[in-house]
Every structure is written in structure tokens, then in C-alpha cells.
Structure 1
Amino acid sequence: MRLGIGRSVKRDAVLVRVETDEGLIGWGESHHGRCPGAIARLIDTTLRELVIGMDACDVAGVWHRVYKMQLASHGMGAAAALALSGLDQALWDIRCQRTNWSLCELLGGGPKPIKAYAGGIALGWQDPETLVEEARALVNQGFRALKLRVGDTARRDIERVRAVRLALGDDIDLLVDANTGYTLDDVRRVMPAYEEMDIGWLEEPFPAWDAEAYASAARLGRVPLAAGENHYTRYEFGPLLKDGNVRFIQPDLSKTGGITEAMRIAAMASAVKLTVNPHTSATAINMATSIHYLCAVDNPGYFEADVTQLNPFRDYLAGQLPYALDAQGCVSPLPGAGIGLRPDEAFLAEHPLIEGPCYV
């Protein structure tokens, strides 16, 4: 599949396994950052040396130590934030194993339906006819919201989005994601058509650091902007929220600093009356964790359901799917302790690291 960041050639993920001296085992997922071997190496060396010997249930203390010794003193590096995210998830999993509580309950929430949209590596740059076929099939599965990949040319993007809107009608929510591929002139060209087609949000038209472009784009039309999957920790979300140009906040629990930091970001967004709509990473761990997270905050938005046609890390990693749609197009957290699933280590052994970028 092709989209704004390239042609997808493989799926990458970094899974983090933490074992305590009591024999409890926690699992988390770090985003690969297009270089999974480097992220794994950082976890196995630097982060490991920083946290071995600490109390595994002191998630705030572990988070602060990694922040102080790695992120704060050596810059807000993406690799360190990705690595910390998987470690933090694994420590929350250990807390859940110790208490035998589900993650959403331990975070202060409880099971409830969360509206979902069809996303992931899907609905990309293709002929309008085949895109409509893919979109219609997802609606037939029960989705009431879909995210289309844009960021090609303004003309082709409008052609694709319009074909889907005409085919599905006005009852389906349509979102679009440019994967940082737009210029301000592109936004100026597509915004009138996206307004006409009642698009719910325009996601990441620009790189995360380009605050001036976001401010200019927010004045070009009424389609709200979405961003956050490439913003790391509350220290980058703070200016994003203060600027007020992005109206849908999208932390990725495998990128932004894990569950601990994502809860802080949700509270910050809640204070300015915005929802959190977490970006989904590659495996069932991130997906199941994201649903529990949304059940634990007071400002849940959408869950991004990965509908990639081929993703064994979603389908076979734990012997069960991380989500299921109900009749209203919503998902609910898996029951049981933690996130409700455990990785199959034999499956992991069958899928070793493949070096190289996942998009070309």
C-alpha cells in the first residue's frame, strides 16, 4: 500500500518484556521509529542499566529517572521516548498482574464502549473505484467512521475522497490523514472540498514541529486539524494545546512516553475541552492498551482500529484479536487482568527482527 510516508513493505514493532525478582512478567510495545533494531538496542542497554533494581510498581519513579537521565539531559530524542513508552507499558502490566485488575480499572476507569474508526495501514493511494470497494467492505463490517490517506496531489486527493463520500453517503464519518505530506498551498486547495464533503478532521498535514504552518492552516477553513502521534511527552503537547490550532489530540502510547505520560496528556487536553484519539501502533499490545486507556479518561475520542489486510502481530501475536466491533461500531476493552491478552513467545521467536525501513 502507498501513502504519504512511502510504500509499505513490512510491519515492524519492538516488544518489551520486563521480569521482576518475584517472577511477574510485563509486556509493552515501543514504536519502531523505522529502525526497530536501534530502539531495541537502546532498551536492552541504556534503559536497562538505568532502571534495573528499581521497584517495578513505581512507574512514576521509573519514568522520571529515564526522563532525567536520558530525555532531559540529552534532548527530547524520539528514540528515547519510543523506548520509554514500551518500558512504561510493561510496568503497568506488572502492576495489573500484581493486583489482578484490568488496566482501565487500575487507571481509575471501567469498561465502556468506545467509538472506533477504520484506520491503520489501509485506505491508501489507489484508484477511486478500488478505494470505494475497500471502504464499502469496512462499512459492511460495522464501521461507522473511516480514515482515508491523502497527501498525494490536491486533485487526486479530492477525487478519492469525493468518490468515497458519494458512495457511502452522509451517515458515515470520514477523516483524512496527510501523513505530513501537505504544503500550505495544498491545504488551501483541498480545504473547500473537504468542507463541502463534511470531513471530520485533517490529520497531520505538516511535520509535528511546524507550528507556524498549523497556525496558518487553521485559518484556511472549518475542517479541524488533528495531530499528536509524532509529539513526544507532555512537554511537546503543552505548546500544541496552548496554540489551539489542533482540535483533535492523538498521542500514541508506544511513542509519547507510555501510559503514564498519555494519562497526563489526556488531563491536559481535558482542561481545554479536547478529546484524546490515540494513534495505533503495530501490534495487539498497543491496540488493546489504547482501548483500556480510552476507558480510563474523561475525554475519550476515537479508537483507531487497525484494518490492515495482513498484520500477523494483530491477529496471531496473542491468539485472539485485540478488539471486536459491536452493532454501533464501538469497541470495548478485553476482560481479565491487564489488557486481557498475553503474547505468545513462540510466535515472537518465529518473527525475528528484519533490518531496514518499513516504508520505501
Structure 2
Amino acid sequence: MTKTDLDIVELRAIASSVPVRDGVTLGIGRAVKRDCVIIKIVTRGGLVGWGESHHGRCPGAIAHLVNTTLQQLLLGMPADEVNRIWDKVYMRQMASHGMGTAAALAFSGIDQALWDIRGQAVGWPVYRLLGGSRKPIPAYAGGISLGFQAPDTLVNEVHALREQGYRAIKLRLGDTAALDIERLQAVRKAFGDELGIMADANTAYSLTDVRNVASALRECRVIWLEEPFAPHDYRSYATAAALLGATPLAAGENHYTRYEFARLIEDKAVGILQPDASKAGGITELMRIAALGSAWRLPLCPHTCATGLNMASSIHVLASIDNGGYFEADTAKENLFRDRLTRRADSLDENGCVSPSDEPGLGVAVDEEFLRAHPVIEGPAYV
């Protein structure tokens, strides 16, 4: 393979949507559809790389940004020069007068696809390129699941997840403090200390809510409280950290690039970092964020998204860093992007852990017929 064989000759984004028949209700509303934005990159030598950009709840707009501006910036560049490509997009779109957050979402899938190509070019899985090893990574049951439901129904759902092998789960908060506590206590009582419990408020809490649930979180030995507030509400995070005591705060799925994570870390309020490889800037930027976190002894527990591409990206990163924590497995009952568009990248072993694929690149194929059969459905994903 010559150097020019790695030049990018095709770069495009495909937005896709599927309706949800029985949507889970969370702090951000009831899910009515699932969206994704898939990135395809083809090199002059015929290598095809795939990635996932987060849809930003406006998938058509993210795909359009890729298919116009970012495509024109990157066509002809060598796919293996990931840092050079990242810097170009940063300077042209993120640093000054650009689309900022939208560009971070759009470029994240491009970066994943570039790493997929790099791995294929040398015949290595991404984790080997990153200096990692094929080690087991503890997983918890997350995704769009375990929502606002009666405690006995919730306990039954957790039972089913336990039977699948999960040793930790994430409950959804953000209903009312009283109902949140009732559900949390019911799950802890049903499973005792054999089950690890995380909690996610999906930005729906106020400081008053945190005060009201703080003692229950401690009594139920919750591993973390995730995103009680909007990502820019740094003052509330600092206040909440003092209120929670031994229960750490987790955040980062709605922070973008290492620059925003630098502020998050320096404020010393958040104890668990949760960047998303489809949002924060791709695999390249997750490795940089992980290094920042490592210097502060903070674990990295990435947020994951719709398809096996982002799941695989997260697992490859977790296998390659010294401060890797939990992998968030998508345990939604209904996710065609996970099960049909791509294959699952998060199969559990007998210890409730996942491991990266040994196939070259990300190790995930994409069904392009599925994308053609499921065009984007514009409109809100939660109501």
C-alpha cells in the first residue's frame, strides 16, 4: 500500500431514524424515536472506515454539516494523519466563528472512521494501535432503559438484567425526589450489596432535589450521581458535591473536547469523567481527555450511544488507558441500530465484563441496506 492509497476520496454522513413503539420515560421525556448519524470514509486504495456521530437531537443538521463543510475540508487528505485532520477541523470550525458543538458531534464520527481505517491498513485492532491490551472491562446496564416505572416493575427489569450477567445497573432519577428514592430503595432491598447501582438524573434536578436525595444515595451506596444539572451549570455542580459527601458526581457526556473537560476537572466537583466518543471529538480526543483525568486520578467511564460503532470505540479506548472504569452497555429493549444496523460490540463474559474485538480497525460492519430502508425522521426524539 502506497501513501496515496490512504487519501480520502469519499466522506459522507447518513442520517437514520427508527420509531420507538414503547418508549422509556426519563428525566428528559418519553422516547418516541431513535436517531443516528453514520459516517463512511473511503480511501483511494479502497479501505472503508465507519464511525458514529451523535445526532444532537437534530440528525439531519449534523449529517448536512458533514456532507457540506467538513467533507470539503477533508477530501484528499491522508486518512492516517488523524492529528492533522483533527487540528484542521478544530481551527476551521470549533475555535473561531464555526459551528462549535455541532462540529464536535459531526467530527467525532469522522475520527472514529479514521481510526477504523488506520487499523485496517496495518491489520491491527484499534486498541493495539492505542497501546492497549485485550483486557476485560466491567460493564453496567445502561442505555435507554430502567426508566420511571412502578418499583415492582423496575425490580423485575433489573432481575432480567442480572440474569443476563450484569453486576451493575444505572437507575434513572429526575421524576420527583420521593419517587426516585422509592425506586432506588426497592432495587437496593431486592438485590442487596451484590448489585452495583449508579443513578442518572439526565439534567432534571435542582439543588433542592439533590439535598432531598443525598442521604438516600449514601444509604443505598450509589456509585455515582450522574448529570443532575445542565453541563454549563458549574456552580450547582460545586454546591452539589459538598451536599453529596461520599457519593461522587459524574458528568461529561455533554461536554466537548479536552478544553471543556479541563474546566470540569479543575473545578474539582466531578469525580467520574464520562466523555462520549460520538460527541467529544472521537477516539483521538477521548485519549487526550483520559490523559487529563489520569493526572488527577479520575476514572473515565464513557457514555455510549446508538450503534455498535460508538460502543466499540469506547471499549477500544477503555482497553488502552490506565484510568478506565465502567463500560456503559446499551440494554434498551428496542434498538435496531445496535442489533441490525451493526452487530453488538458489547457481549458480556461470565464476570459481567466486555472486551475489545481483535478484528482490524473497530471490528464493526455496517448494513447499508438498513440505512437506505430507514431514512431520517426529523423532529424531537423525546416528548
TM-score tier by shorter-chain length is over 0.9
Matched, 1:301 2:325: yes
CA deviations over 1:98-150 (Å, ceiling 9, x no partner):
11100100111121100000000000011111111001110111100000000
Q: Secondary structure at the match of 2:271?
A: strand
Pairing 1:1-360 to 2, within 5 Å after superposition: 1-74=24-97, 77-221=100-244, 222-318=246-342, 320-360=343-383
Q: Identity of counterpart residues, as a percentage?
A: 59
Q: 1:77 offset after TM fit, Å?
A: 2.1
Q: Aligned partners of 2:212 and 2:351: how far apart in 1?
A: 34
Is 1:227–1:246's contact at 8 Å kept on the other side of the alignment?
yes
Determine if contact 2:137/2:355 at 8 Å carries over to the other structure: yes
Note if contact 1:113-1:330 (Cα within 8 Å) is conserved in structure 2.
yes
- Cα distance, 1:76 vs structure 2: 6.9
Give unmatched runs, 5+ long, in structure 2: 1-23
Structure 1 residue 347 displacement after superposition: 1.9
Q: Is the 8 A contact 1:229 1:250 kept in 2?
A: yes
Deviation at 1:321, TM superposition (A): 1.8
AA at the equivalent of 2:310: N
Is the 1:323–1:334 Cα contact (8 Å) retained in structure 2?
no
Kept in 2: contact 1:251–1:279 (CA 8 A) = yes
Structure 1 residue 75, shift from structure 2 partner: 5.6
User: Residue 92 of structure 2 contacts residue 98 of structure 2 at CA under 8 Å; is this kept in 1?
Assistant: no
Q: Matched residues in 2 for 1:150 and 1:251: separation?
A: 20
Cα distance between partner residues in 1 of 2:47 and 2:39 = 14
Work out the CA distance in 2 between the residues paired with 1:130 and 1:203.
23
Q: Is the 8 A contact 2:115 2:362 kept in 1?
A: no
Whether the 8 Å contact between 2:210 and 2:243 is mirrored in structure 1 is: yes
For the residues of structure 1 that align with 2:312 and 2:102, how far apart are their CA atoms? 23
Whole-angstrom distance in 2 between the partners of 1:10 and 1:284: 18
CA distance in 1, matches of 2:274, 2:69: 28
Contact 1:232 1:256 in 2 (8 A): yes
Q: What is the number of equivalent residue pairs in this alignment?
A: 359
Distance 2:163 2:189 in 1: 16
**Letter of the 1:304 counterpart:** E
Provide Cα deviations, 1:302-341, integer angstroms capped at 9, x if missing partner.
00000000101111123x3212111111011122111222
The 1-side partners of 2:299 and 2:145 are apart by 24
Q: Could you tell me the TM-score, scaled by structure 1's length? A: 0.98
Instruction: Give the whole-Å Cα distance in 2 for the aligned partners of 1:346 and 1:76.
Output: 31
Q: In the alignment, is the contact (CA less than 8 A) between 2:346 and 2:355 conserved in 1?
A: yes
Distance in 2 (CA, whole Å) between partners of 1:238 and 1:259 is 17
Alignment CA distance shift 1:75-1:226 (3 Å): farther
Question: 2:174 and 2:314 mapped to 1: Cα distance?
Answer: 26
Cα separation, partners in 2 of 1:349 and 1:81, compared to 1, 3 Å: same
Unaligned ranges ≥5, structure 1: none
The CA distance in 2 between the partners of 1:249 and 1:75, in whole Å, is 26
The match for 2:9 is: none
CA contact (8 A) 2:124 2:358 kept: no
